[in-house]
Amino acid sequence: MPNDPINSEELQMFRDMVLRFLEQEVLPHYDTWEKNHHTPREIWNTLGNAGVLLVDMPEKYGAAEASFDVCQMIQEEMCRLGLHGLATGYNIHANIVAPYILNIGTEQQKDRWLPPMVSGDVLTALAMTEPGAGSDVAGMRTSAVKDGDEYILNGSKTFITNGNMADMIIVCAKTDTTAGAKGISLFLVDTSLPGFSTGKPIEKIGQHSSDTAELFFESMRLPSDALLGEENRGFAYLMQELPRERLGCAAQAIGHAQGALELTVDYVSDRKAFGQSIGQFQNTRFKLAQCHTELELCRAMLEKHMVKYKQSAMTVTDAAMLKLAATEMQLTMVNECLQLFGGYGYTDEYPISRFYRDARVQTIYAGSSEIMKEVIARGILGRG
C-alpha cells in the first residue's frame, strides 16, 4: 500500500469527476429510488462505466489504481449530497469486499472477481450478521462442512447490505463448530448456485433506497476454491480488515454532517422570524459554531488515522475510537441541524429530514457504539 501523501491535484480531479457524475446520473433520480425503496441494479454498471468503482485497486484488474484517499472521498461526497444509502452500498462493494479479495484471495480469485467488480457487472456483499449473532461472531450458526472437494453451506444471515442484488457474497461460516471464533472461515459465494435464496427486502427507518436483505443457504454446495484465505482463519481476517471498514463509516459520517451543516446554514440565512433571519439569533449562531467545531475535530481525527492506515500502523483500537467519535458526532449534529429547521425539519419536503433518518444506523452497523467502547477499553487495559 503506498505511503505517499495524496496528490491534491489527483484528488481534486477525481472529486470534480465524481460530482459531475452524481449530479447527472444519481441526484435527478434519487428521490424516486428512496420512495420506491429500491436502487436499480443498472446504476452499478453506470458507476463502473464512469470509473467510480474500486478506484484504488490495481490497474491490471481494470481499476484506476488511484490513492486510497480517493475511495474515501467518493463516500464522503455521496453522503454530503444526501446519498447515504448509495454510499453504504458503495462502502461494502468497493471499500470492504474488494480489499478482502485483494489482500487474502488467490490470483485466480482476484482475476475472476475484481475485473467485473470494477465494471459493475458483479455486485458484492459481506455476510456476517445472523438473526441471533451480531457483534458476537463466535455465536454464529451458519456452517460450511467439507464434503470431498466441496463445502456444504447451511444457515442464514440478516441485515446484509446489497444482499438482494449481490452476484457474489463473502460469507462467514463455521468450519469448526467446537472452536468458537477460531473456527470461522470466509467463502466467496456465487449467488447463482443452487441453494441460495433471499427474503423480502428489509424495510428500515432510513436509507430507504439501500438494498438490505435476509439471506438463506440450504445445502448449498461450494467448490473448494470458494474458500477465501485459509480455513478457520476467518476471524483473524475480519480483524485485519475492520479498520478500513470503520474508516469508511467515519468518512461517511463526516461527509453527511458537512452536508447537513451546509443545508442548515442556507436555511437559517434565509428564514425570517421576529424581523430578522434565524441565523442572527445568538442561539443559532452558537449551535452552528459548536457543530462546526465538532465536525472539524472529527475530520482531523479521520485524516490522522488515514495516514496511519496507509502506513499499516492503524490499530483496531484506533479504528474503534474513530468510528465512535465520528458517528456519534454525526447523530448529534444532524439532530441539532434539524432542530434549527423547526417544524419544516420534520417534513419530507426538506432534505434535512432524510439526513436525520439516514444517520441513525451509523452508530449500529460495523460495530455499535457500545461495542466500540468495549474495544477501546480493552485496548486501554491491555486485553485486546
Cell numbers of 60, please?
491490471
310 vs 306: CA distance, rounded Å: 6
For residues 238 and 116, is the Cβ–Cβ distance under 8 A?
Answer: no
For residues 215 and 156, is the Cβ–Cβ distance under 8 A?
Answer: yes
Q: Apex CA 98: angle with CA 131 and CA 52, to 5°?
A: 115
Run of H or E including 306: helix 282-310
For residues 95 and 71, is the Cβ–Cβ distance under 8 A?
Answer: yes
Length of the chain: 384
156 vs 173: CA distance, rounded Å: 10
Active site residue 294: no
For residues 204 and 34, is the Cβ–Cβ distance under 8 A?
Answer: no
252 vs 317: CA distance, rounded Å: 19
Which residues, other chains included, contact 196 with Cβ-Cβ below 8 Å and sequence gap of 6+? 189, 215, 216, 217, 220
3-state SS assignment for residue 297: helix
DSSP string, 240-260: HHHHHHHHHHHHHHHHHHHHH
For residues 288 and 264, is the Cβ–Cβ distance under 8 A?
Answer: yes
Q: Per the residue annotation, which of 130, 214, 241, 245 is the catalytic one?
A: 245
- Distances, alpha carbon 81 to alpha carbons 18, 148, 263, 326, 363, in Å: 12, 50, 10, 18, 20
DSSP string, 92-113: IIIIIIHHHHHHHS-HHHHHHH
Cell numbers of 164, please?
438482494
For residues 30 and 71, is the Cβ–Cβ distance under 8 A?
Answer: no
DSSP string, 136-187: -GGG---EEEEETTEEEEEEEEEEEETTTT-SEEEEEEES-TTSGGGGEEEE
Catalytic residues: 245
